[in-house]
Structure 1
Amino acid sequence: MQYRKLGKTGFSISEISLGTWQVGGKWGDPFSHENADQILNAAVDSGINFIDTADVYGDGESEKAVGRLVRNRSERIYVATKCGRQLQPHVNEAYTPEAMRRFVEASLRNMQLETLDLIQLHCPPTEVYYRPEVFEVFDRLKEEGKIQNLGVSVEKVEEGLKALEFPNVTTIQLIFNMFRERPSELLFKEAQRRDVGLIVRVPLASGLLTGKFSPNTQFSADDHRNFNRNGEAFDKGETFSGVDYNTGLEAVEELKRVFPDQPNLAPVALRWVLMFDEVSCVIPGASKPEQLTSNLHAAELPPLSAEQMQQVKAIYDKKIRPLVHQIW
């Protein structure tokens, strides 16, 4: 495992880390602590030392599993969680300093920890990024020892650029993959200039970039890849990176021709993300230990060639850019 610095947090974190949206089981299934414990411990055994969770994952059960892991292991494990998505309705006005404090204290109770290494605003409405009082409360929480660092999880490049204006923002979590390339144009450069860490989520475009899906693939009724393709439940960009499913399948077939010796595209897609030095880590999820093993294979791959990088970009420019580039 290779390690990179997480911006001005100073943390040295595994470049392949773990996101826990589905760590308790497949999307839509009841949370399984037994399955979560297997995946989390296997991750640490493999050298992963950065775990990303959120208070809404499994309605707090994911945080509980992550906290149990940290308390039962001797290794230094950095924990990032997120807050804000519990607000109902999830609107700008609901983001108050009091609510943010309440969420931080609830996450500490869930994980039975004394401090959070990193707390992130969980894809708040764009207007929140123009309200200094929301960001200032985290300075108070840091003074009290309840958090160590503040970050943001964003949907749009615009939000990331605005977040960079707040000096207490140490990390930005964003979607970046072969089907979502816009962040590398300006946001990466600005984040690097301000020493802000970049945490990449949805690196496999909700599984599309594994190359294992087909027009006949069926997703369960409770799976967001079934019910959120047009943004019915939350931002459309979180599902298949906002790419039309059939268009994505066509692009994947072209990618397979670029990497004919790879039976599973997932490690290549993760290695592509890590070709960008500004990225601190990538956080693919896993609903079973075998998926974790597949993701970790990316660390063993050699760097992609300049020709391969150009071929990936050409597929993006032809198939994907006209549909999504300007949106996020």
Structure 2
Amino acid sequence: MKQRPFGQTGKAVSEIGFGAWAIGGSWGDVSESDAKAALHAALDSGTTFIDTADVYGDGRSERIIAAVLKERGGPRPFVATKAGRRLDPHSAAGYNAANLNAFVERSLVNLETDCLDLVQLHCPPTEVYYRPDVFEAMDAMVAAGKIRGYGVSVEKVEEGLKAIEYPGVESVQIIYNIFRQRPADLFMREAKARGIAVIVRVPLASGLLTGKMKADTTFAADDHRLFNREGQAFDKGETFAGVPYDVALDAVEEIRPLVPPGMSMSQFALRWILMNDAVTTVIPGAKNREQAEANNAASDLPPLSDSAMKALRALYLDKIAPFVHHYW
């Protein structure tokens, strides 16, 4: 597993991390035994970065991570969590020192630690990025020893560009994949120039880029791929990267011939992301051991060809960009 520097923190993390949303909730049923097996497999095969959030299964994801790390012992991997989405209503006014401290205290208990490696503001309303007091509250928690550092998880490129104006921001988590290429146009360059770690989420477009979905694929009632296609529960861009399902399925069929022998479509999609050297780590989810091992194996695969990269760019501009490019 290759390592990449985590911004200017002096730490390095695995270029393929573990996205722990699926083991928390909103992805259909995942048993605790499967969840633990997936995380063990990821760590066994080189993962040193785990991303979670306090709302994933109402803390279930954080608690499973704590249990697995206790079982393993030894050096802890870098564990990033998020705060803010527990607010109800989820409003900019709720992002204040009292609430953020309460969320962090809860995550400290769930993750069974006395200091969190990284806390990310969890896709807050855009107004929050224009409130220095929010970032001052995060600075205060660093000074108090509750967190080692902080970053933001954003929906829009513009939010990421605004966030990195604050000197305390160490990382930005953003959606970037074959179907969401806009971050590469400006954001990635700015993040790299400023020494900001970039965490890439939704790398497989909610599973579309595995190549396993069909028009008649069904999803469980508690799976966001069923209930959030039009943004009914949270930002539409988090589900299938915001691309209409039928449009995405047609695009997947055009991608399929580009995948070289010995590489799955999922690994091909992960390799595409890793071609950008501004990316620090990509965090695919895994519901079982096999998925985790396959994800991590992408780190050892060869780079994609120039012809494949050009074909994917052309496909994006022609078929996908009209649906996503100017929205996120």
TM-score of the superposition, structure 2-length normalised? 0.97
C-alpha distance after superposition, 1:77-124 (max 9, x if no partner): 111000000000001111111100111111001111010110000000
**Could you say which residue in structure 2 is the equivalent of 1:238?**
238
- Any gaps of 5 or more consecutive residues in structure 1? none
Structure scoring higher RCO (CA < 8 A, sep ≥ 6) equals 2
Contact 2:211/2:266 (8 A) holds in 1: yes
- Residue 274 of structure 1: aligned partner: 274
Moved more, 294-303 or 279-288: 294-303
Q: Which amino acid aligns with 1:251?
A: A
Contact 1:17 1:281 in 2 (8 A): yes
Alpha-carbon offset, residue 262 of structure 1: 5.7
2:74 counterpart of 1:66: no
Q: Distance in 2 between matches of 1:205 and 1:123?
A: 17
2:121 aligns with 121
Residue 322 to residue 148, structure 1, CA distance change in 2 (3 Å)? same
User: Does the Cα contact within 8 Å between 1:25 and 1:35 map onto a contact in 2?
Assistant: no
Q: How far off is 1:35 after superposition?
A: 2.2
Inter-partner Cα distance in structure 1 for 2:299 and 2:229: 31
SS at match of 2:206: coil
* Alpha-carbon distance in structure 2 between the residues aligned to 1:164 and 1:260: 37
Report the Cα distance in structure 1 between the residues aligned to 2:48 and 2:259, rounded to whole angstroms: 30
- 1:43-82 CA-to-partner distances (Å, cap 9, x unmatched) read 1111101100100011111111112233342133111000
**Identical aligned residues as a percent:** 54
Aligned residue for 1:198, secondary structure, equals: strand
Moved more, 185-194 or 66-75: 66-75
Moved more, 281-290 or 295-304: 295-304
Residues 25/128 of structure 1: CA separation in 2 closer, same or farther (3 Å cut): closer
TM-superposed CA distance for 1:263, in Å, is 6.8
Query: What is the correspondence of 1:70-85 to structure 2 with a 5 Å cutoff?
Result: 70-72=69-71, 73-85=73-85
The equivalent residue for 1:2 is 2
Question: 1:199 & 1:263 partners in 2: Cα distance?
Answer: 23
Kept after mapping to 1: 8 A contact 2:200/2:279: yes
Matching residue of 2:252: 252
Give, in whole Å, the separation in 2 of the partners of 1:32 and 1:101. Answer: 31
TM-score w.r.t. the length of structure 1 is 0.97
Corresponding position of 1:23 = 23
CA contact (8 A) 2:47 2:296 kept: no
CA contact (8 A) 2:26 2:224 kept: no
Moved over 6 A (4+): none
CA contact (8 A) 2:204 2:266 kept: yes
Q: Does structure 1 conserve the Cα–Cα contact (< 8 Å) formed by 2:18 and 2:51?
A: yes
Aligned-residue CA RMSD (Å): 1.3
In the TM superposition, 1:85-124 aligns within 5 A as 85-124=85-124
The question of whether the paired residues in 2 share the 8 Å contact of 1:179 and 1:320 is answered with: yes
The size of the alignment, in residue pairs, is: 327
- Quick one: distance in 2 between partners of 1:309 and 1:294? 22
Q: In 2, Cα distance between the equivalents of 1:172 and 1:89?
A: 24
Deviations 1:153-180 (A, max 9, x none): 0000010000011000000000000000
**Superposition map of 1:48-59 within 5 A:** 48-59=47-58
Per-residue CA distance 1:22-52 (angstroms, 9 max, x = gap): 12577132x6332222111111111101100
Deviation string, structure 1 residues 294-319 (Cα, Å, up to 9, x no partner): 21221221000111100110110110
SS at match of 1:8: coil
8 Å contact from structure 1 (residues 84, 121) kept in 2: yes
- What SS class does the counterpart of residue 205 from structure 2 fall into? coil
Instruction: Give, in angstroms, the shift of residue 9 of structure 1.
Output: 2.0
Structure 2's unaligned 5+ residue stretches are none
CA distance in 1, matches of 2:297, 2:90: 38
The aligned counterpart of 1:177 is: 177
Structure 2 partner of 1:46: 45
Q: How far apart, in 1, do the equivalents of 2:209 and 2:194 lie?
A: 31
Look up the SS of the partner of 1:70 in the other structure. helix
Q: Is the 8 A contact 2:97 2:134 kept in 1?
A: yes
Q: Quick one: distance in 1 between partners of 2:162 and 2:284?
A: 26
Q: Secondary structure at the match of 1:249?
A: helix
Answer whether contact 2:25 2:57 (CA < 8 A) is retained: no
Query: Is the contact between residue 25 and residue 36 of structure 1 (CA under 8 Å) also seen in structure 2?
Result: no
Match of 1:159 in 2: 159
Q: Does the CA-based 8 Å contact 2:229-2:239 persist in structure 1?
A: yes
Q: Distance in 1 between matches of 2:2 and 2:89?
A: 41
Is the CA contact (8 Å cut-off) linking 1:24 and 1:33 kept in structure 2?
Answer: no
Contact (CA 8 Å) 1:212, 1:264: kept in 2 or not? no
